[in-house]
Amino acid sequence: MANLSRLPRPHDRLKGAVRAGLIAALAGLGACAGGPSPDVSAGPGSPAAAAAVERIARLDRGMPDVAANSVLLVSPTALAVAPAAGGPLAGMPILLKDNIETADMPTTAGSLALSHNAPGRDAPLAARLRAAGAIIIGKANLSEWANIRSSESISGWSAVGGQTRNPYDPERTPCGSSSGSAVAVAIGLVPVAIGTETDGSITCPASVTGVVGFKPTVGLVSRTHIVPISHSQDTAGPMATTVEDAARVLTVIAGSDPMDPATAEADARKVDYAAALDADSLRGARIGVMRFLLPNYSEETRAAFETALRAMRDAGAEIVDITEAPADFRRIGGWELTVLLTELKHDLNLYLASTNPAQVRTRTLADVIAFNAAEPRETVLFGQDLFERAEATGGLDDPEYVEARTNSLRAAGPEGIDRMMAEHQVVALVAPTTSRAWTNDREDEDDMQGSASRLAAVAGYPHLTVPMGFDRGMPVGISFIAGKWEDAKVLSLGHAFEQRTLARRPPGATVH
């Protein structure tokens, strides 16, 4: 999740000298962070992986006063494993968000309650990456419990990993919950990282750190052995410097998993997403602009968005304004929260029961709540009101939950995205992903402004964010959204926009 996060001033605002130090340290990263992917064909031992580990030591951890702090753990086997020969990702170094299990590292979700959770199994997603030749070099920090513990949670902070900082301005949020995955890609530690999203947790951090983030159709990528929030909305997805790299990785991780019923259609639906990219796909395409969202964004982000729309027109797209929100748009958020809290209790209890009791003594959500209450390192910055509300929910048979899920899915999908696309005869919807990264200083006006994530998140439809420009020197992205299983189309349109605009600038580069 992302939209429940907060970042209070006392815990994340850094002095100007620290900000200057981090930006200066990153200023030389242009070729690495903004250019093509490293040579990933070399092996065995993958020089690209070795270089990534060196960059982590030098850039992510080497300057403790100004460290980006995006990487929670480096794999002990990262430099010893020879990549699978001939795989489509042979030798490519990749980071996984630390709610995704791997056999060689613990999986903590940022919580001290899971600090010894090392069941020795790869999530199917991780196994697919390894089979394709990728080198999983470590785990990325995240907003603890993917931002679902508290309505006052701090994006990018976990008790295990500390605070991840936005490399464009460490006084501002990296958003969440896939904060470390986004920042690691932004500063060039790896070409691709894997994040997870329930609502905004891939797309928001990608947008505010100037990278590509893709939330696939729910059911395209397995969620097995990923610490859950909601089986209705959870998915993993790639975060990269280019749409092409994101598409290459999605092609590998997509597919059916008998342990995840939501993926039953994935094998039949998946394609080679990189091969399907067309840099001319905007030509002749009718693109729907969700104008009803725009008043929520900053003036500067709205201006960048209008520039992006002009670029799409110049590429041959027909821009269609959609001024009216779906009928129940303003009610979706309340229904969604009921769904997430109810499913959190159910799904997390199932996950905890699957772990080794000798490693994880918290066997239920109630146990985790008790653990946090007794552990001051967990509650030093914020509490656990959402966990407590989730524990009080009545289960998947509760009529309130059943009604909320039925209504939210209908309003976001068939009567939301699907109806807008059909009535306006458009092939995709666009809006700014969010505005510039905010401070969440309650004494100023610079708070979160605007979000495009909710409809696609609740419907389970694909959502891509691509860098489109800057808002007061901070990167902002444009969102491309379409219907269920239309992942290839969304990626292709985003690729065409990316190639037309080349709007991304790495941290430390001059922004005009």
195 - beta bridge partners?
A: 237
Identified catalytic residue from 5, 46, 70, 97: 97
Identified catalytic residue from 111, 158, 177, 178: 177
- Annotation marks residue 177 as catalytic: yes
Q: Please state, in angstroms and rounded to a whole number, the distance separating the CA atoms of residues 363 and 352.
A: 5
Report DSSP letters for 285-330, one per residue.
Answer: -EEEEEGGGGGGS-HHHHHHHHHHHHHHHHTTPEEEEE-S--TTGG
Q: Please state, in angstroms and rounded to a whole number, the distance separating the CA atoms of residues 508 and 167.
A: 8
Count of positions (residues) in the chain: 512
Nearest CA to 35 out of 184, 137, 188, 208 is that of 188
Identified catalytic residue from 46, 143, 178, 201: 201
Nearest CA to 195 out of 147, 149, 152 is that of 147
- Annotation marks residue 201 as catalytic: yes
Report DSSP letters for 152-178, one per residue.
Answer: T--TTEETTTEE---TT-TTS---SSS
Omega before 256 within 30 of 0, i.e. cis:
no
**Angstrom distances, CA of residue 309 to CA of 302, 374, 464:** 11, 52, 16
From the centroid of its chain, how far is CA 336? Answer: 18
Active-site residue set: 97, 177, 201
